[in-house]
Amino acid sequence: MSAAFTIFAKKMGREKRIPFEVSIDPFYSDSNMCYLEQKMAGYKEGKLEFAEHELIEE
């Protein structure tokens, strides 16, 4: 563990940046949160439509 941190710290010192991409989970995007809030409102009003589908088994 200490070797991994040492490598990380040296690389960060050389490059003057975090040596990997930092990204946000798209599930929490504004558009998806808006969609989920609309679905929840529809559920609470009893207007939510359900669709059946077959499960995919591998």
Query: From CA 1, how far away is CA 48, in angstroms rounded?
Result: 50
Please give the model's pTM, rounded to 2 decimal places: 0.46
Residue 9: which H helix or E strand, with range?
Answer: helix 2-15
Q: What is the pLDDT of residue 7?
A: 92
User: Exposed/middle/buried for 44, CB within 10 Å: 0-12, 13-18, 19+?
Assistant: exposed
28-56 per-position pLDDT tens digit: 899 999 999 999 999 999 988 777 878 77
Cα 45 to the chain's mean position, in Å? 28
Tally the residues of the chain. 58
Ramachandran assignment for 57, one of left (phi > 0), alpha (psi -120 to 50 degrees), beta (any other): beta
pLDDT value at residue 58: 65
